Every structure is written in C-alpha cells, then in structure tokens.
Amino acid sequence: MEGVNSSSSISDLDELARLLDRPRVNIERKRSFDERSFSEMGIFDNVNSPGGWETPVSSARNSFEPHPMVAEAWDALRRSLVYFRGQPVGTIAAYDHASEEVLNYDQVFVRDFVPSALAFLMNGEPDIVKNFLLKTIQIQGREKRIDRFKLGEGAMPASFKVIHDPIKETDSINADFGESAIGRVAPVDSGFWWIILLRAYTKSTGDTSLAETSECQKGMRLILSLCLSEGFDTFPTLLCADGCSMVDRRMGVYGYPIEIQALFFMALRSAMSMLKHDAEGKEFMERIVKRLHALSFHMRSYFWLDFQQLNDIYRYKTEEYSHTAVNKFNVIPDSIPEWVFDFMPLRGGYFIGNVSPARMDFRWFALGNCVAILASLATPEQSASIMDLIEERWEELVGEMPVKICHPAIESHEWRIVTGCDPKNTRWSYHNGGSWPVLLWLLTAACIKTGRPQIARRAIDLAEARLLKDGWPEYYDGKSGRFIGKQARKFQTWSIAGYLVAKMLLEDPSHLGMISLEEDKQTKPVIKRSYSWT
C-alpha cells in the first residue's frame, strides 16, 4: 500500500479555516499547528494568559451532516454511565452483556474514562467530568495496601466500582489501586491522566475554580510528590514496573516506557499551568521546571530514532568509560533487532519504547508517540517526522483498523521470555501488536496538531467501515488488524468514546486546545548528535 497522499493538506487547512469561519492563515504544508498559528486563529490561547482558559465554541458546531454511527455511539456511551447517589461519576469499561466473564470490565477505569470525558466536554456536558475528578480525588485520600505494604499517598486508582445496596438504598465505592489487578501492579498512568483531565476540564469550561480548590491542589501535589521524589535515579525519566499503564500485563515494558514518560511530561506541564502561586505551589513549580528541562533533553536525545540515529547506533563503539562516552548506555549494536533496519524509512522517525542501561526497546508504541506530539515533548520537527513515519508505514501501524498499539509483535522464544508465556498476549493480539480503536482519538489529535487532518480522515474511514457492525470491540488481532480480538469485549466504552472524540476533533479543531500544549519556548532545542567513527 502506498503512503498517504499528503498533497491534500493545503485544501484540508483551507477547509479547517472555512469551518472556523476565519480567514485562512498561511500555514505551510506539514507545519505544526503551533502556538502562533493557533493564536492567529484565536483558538489556542496560552493557559497562563488572563482569560486564556476558554476554548471558544466554533461556528462549525452542528453544521455537519453527522455520520449515522455518531448517534449510535452517543447512545452506547450514555448507556455506559455510572451513577453515585444519583450523579453520573464515570463510564463503565465495557457494557458487554454477551460476555460470560465480567472480570473488572464493570468498573470505571481512570484511563478509560479520559476519552469519555473529552467527548462530554466537547459536547458541552462538563458536569460528569467534574464529578469524576472530585470522586477520584476523594478515593486518592484513602489508605491503600497490597498485603502488608502501604502504597504512596498520592497513588490514584486504576479503577473503581459503585456498589449499590438496594435494601439500605446506599451507594459505596470500591477502588482498585493494583491490589486486585492481574499482576498486582499499581497504575502509574492514572495520576497523570487525572492531572491532564483537570486541565482539559478547566480549558474547555473556563472554570478555574475546580482546579483552585484545596482538594485539587492537594491532589496534584500528592501525585507530583510521588513522581518527583528523589532516589537513586541517574535519569530524569520515571522508573516503572511492567504493566503499570494501558499495557497492564507483562509485556517487557518495565524500566522507562515511552507511554509513561510522555504522560509524565504532559502531566508536569499541565500541573504547571494549574498550581497556585502560593508557597507550596511555588516549591513544586521549581521542581517541575528543573525536571522538565532534563526530561525533554533526555527524551529528545536518547529515545529519538530516525535513519541517521539508527545508523549511528549501528556503528557505536562499546565499553566506553568516562564523561566523554558517546554510547552512554553501552548499547551493543548486535542487540539491534533485524526488523528495525527494514522498518526505518529514510523519511520519518519516532520515540522508541524504552531506554535503559545496555537496552533499547526499538518497538513503536502509538500512545506514547501521540502524547509526545500533543504535549510538545517532541519538537515540531520530531512531530512532523512521527507523522511521516505513520504515512510511510501505514500498513504496519494502521493497517485495516486503527491503531496498532505497538509494532512489531514479539513471538516464539522471545514471547516466552518477555511475556512469561502470556496466552492473552500472543503475537499480533491484544497488547502484543493488537489494534485498538480507542487510539483513534490520539492519532486524530496528533494529526490535527501537525496539520495533517487527511491522515486522521483516512483512519476514521477505516474505523467507520467496521466498528459499529462489529459491536465496538475492545481490540482487533492480526498483522493488519483485520480480526476482532480473540478475547475482545464488545461495546467497549473507550472504543466508542474514542471514535466520537476523533469525529468531534476533526469537525471542530478548536477542541484540540484542551488536550494539547504548545511548545515551551524555554526548553532548549536538542543538541543534534551525529557521530562518525571514520
């Protein structure tokens, strides 16, 4: 299959400008929708500027002929609502009556609720999001233990369940911080998503009062204390156990997974814009600034891989000692897997899955790369390169159902060693190279930010051909994502909400402001390393 034709992007931008009912700004092909172009369009104000919270409603709202799937999706999303004492507080992970095993899919997952929340915000229904943010911050205050071990105060739950007692007519909440999860891993991503969602709520409603409450300020500080605490780290990235995020099973994502690093970066920047300038807030802001500075340098330098960088690593010397070492982590070139040499196009690049001593996980992970674009962890050039890669490797990364969670799958002996023979994560299934419709919203947002809505449109077309007909599966299997996943739930809420958010973003790109951060001009550009040993 050929790469996506990007020549249509000028007319796409024309169309966007027309929909926004504003004169077209001169945006070059492939230039990012950066701070300047957004502020020219009047839709991306700096969050710190006075009155900068509003995301003005676009004149384009309701001007589209909606796809018939949209109404079905809204109905399904509303059926998934969960109530606590009469108030909606979240959405259930899957409303799949046909499935015999409920497991924990009848719970409200923090990460799963994010696309639901964005859909409600974009539709002008912020109350459920506010209720969710307040409920989860209350849960954070509880003592949490796994066996006899007490977890950090700031830990946020992976999920919670509302238990209704029909006799006493009371509701209570049961939360899971990892003590019930398969593998007993605490979700590192939950706290980050919570902060990111608080910013989205504030940005979309213009209501700063929620973020300013003492509960939310304290909640943020507790999350930040956990991830900014000093220890034995030599890297600014965050050290994690396997399975502590969306990929919540053993998949070789321990160490410094890209998903967590990108969310960490985005949460730090989001918190910066919401922390109060009081003594406690200021102390955290100083720590955040230092960490962001080091983190962006580390990620942009060592996680970034393109053709040139791959060639440099291929020619690395090893066993270097001292400050002058170029191959700082002592990566042995023989450890580069064969597939990367074929996969890496001349045009394009991405943040690899993981970097730690003598280990580079070269796998592509969609969520981390899209969040890196949205948070401006990626420079504008890197963001454009990531989109180039998606175009160049469309068959592998999108295929027949957007979007592949990671590429490539691990199989045979490697699968046995890395997953511990996980029967759910067999090759090209579930977390191991499966295709997850929820990722469509992240791809769409990244496409809009980089000025390439035509890529998103192509992906949405693919989803529209199957999703409703197939009953909104959780994931698809196979090299090109053609088969409904082996154990996929139907009516998976984030597949439904992800589709709605993608549609609304494309129809009204002004929504992007709530989940995107413009480039921080103070972050020093990465030093381009190019080494030659000849």
Binding site for ligand GLC (CB under 6 A): 93, 109, 111-112, 246, 248
Q: Which is nearer to ligand GLC, 111 or 221 (CB)?
A: 111
Cβ atoms within 10 A of the Cβ of 286, count? 10
Query: Is 43 within 8 Å of 509 (Cβ atoms)?
Result: yes
Q: Which is nearer to ligand GLC, 313 or 438 (CB)?
A: 438
Q: Which is nearer to ligand GLC, 408 or 437 (CB)?
A: 437
Query: Cβ 436 to ligand GLC, closest distance in Å?
Result: 9
Query: Cβ 472 to ligand GLC, closest distance in Å?
Result: 12
Q: Which is nearer to ligand GLC, 93 or 220 (CB)?
A: 93
Beta bridge partners of 171: 164
Q: Which is nearer to ligand GLC, 248 or 507 (CB)?
A: 248
Angle at 373 between CA 113 and CA 115, to 5 degrees: 15
Query: Is 518 within 8 Å of 38 (Cβ atoms)?
Result: yes
Q: 518 CB contacts (<8 Å, ≥6 apart)?
A: 34, 35, 38, 44, 46, 376
Query: Cβ 432 to ligand GLC, closest distance in Å?
Result: 11
Rg (CA), the chain: 22
The encoded tokens of residue 239 equal: 């050290």
Query: Cβ 354 to ligand GLC, closest distance in Å?
Result: 18
Query: Cβ 154 to ligand GLC, closest distance in Å?
Result: 20
Q: Which is nearer to ligand GLC, 246 or 344 (CB)?
A: 246
Name the residue with tokens 């504030």: 202
Distance of alpha carbon 124 from alpha carbon 241, whole angstroms: 38
Query: Cβ 89 to ligand GLC, closest distance in Å?
Result: 17
Query: Is 274 within 8 Å of 199 (Cβ atoms)?
Result: yes
Distance of alpha carbon 496 from alpha carbon 103, whole angstroms: 20
Query: Is 499 within 8 Å of 468 (Cβ atoms)?
Result: no
The encoded tokens of residue 521 equal: 């001009």
Q: Give the single-character DSSP code of 335.
A: G
Query: Cβ 371 to ligand GLC, closest distance in Å?
Result: 14
Query: Cβ 95 to ligand GLC, closest distance in Å?
Result: 12
Longest dimension (CA), the chain: 80
Q: Which is nearer to ligand GLC, 99 or 301 (CB)?
A: 99
Q: Which is nearer to ligand GLC, 45 or 248 (CB)?
A: 248
Between the alpha carbon of residue 321 and those of residues 137, 329, 533, the distances in Å are 47, 10, 17
